[in-house]
């Protein structure tokens, strides 16, 4: 298992995430999110708040 680093900053419904691979951005509301990963892949995700459980679909 490898160490990972990720830091995110929320500005309203927008989120910028900085990781070892680069910067990703996303937009969403409670439980739903649409975004672009640091690798440039588009995705949408659905999660259960406060649990860490989520589903993510890349395009």
Exposed/middle/buried for residue 45 (C-beta within 10 Å: 0-12, 13-18, 19+): middle
What pLDDT digit, counting tens, does each position of 24-42 carry? Answer: 999 999 889 999 999 999 9
* Residue found under tokens 């680069």: 22
Mean of per-residue pLDDT scores for the chain: 89
pLDDT at 5: 75
Tell me: pLDDT of 20 over 80: yes
pLDDT at 1: 60
pTM for the predicted model, two decimal places = 0.72
pLDDT at 9: 87
């Amino acid at each position: 298992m490898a160490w990972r680093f990720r830091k995110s900053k929320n500005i309203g419904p927008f989120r910028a995430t900085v990781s070892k691979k680069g910067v990703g951005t996303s937009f969403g509301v409670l439980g739903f999110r649409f975004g672009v990963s640091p690798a440039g892949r588009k995705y949408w995700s659905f999660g259960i708040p406060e649990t860490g459980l989520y589903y993510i679909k890349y395009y």
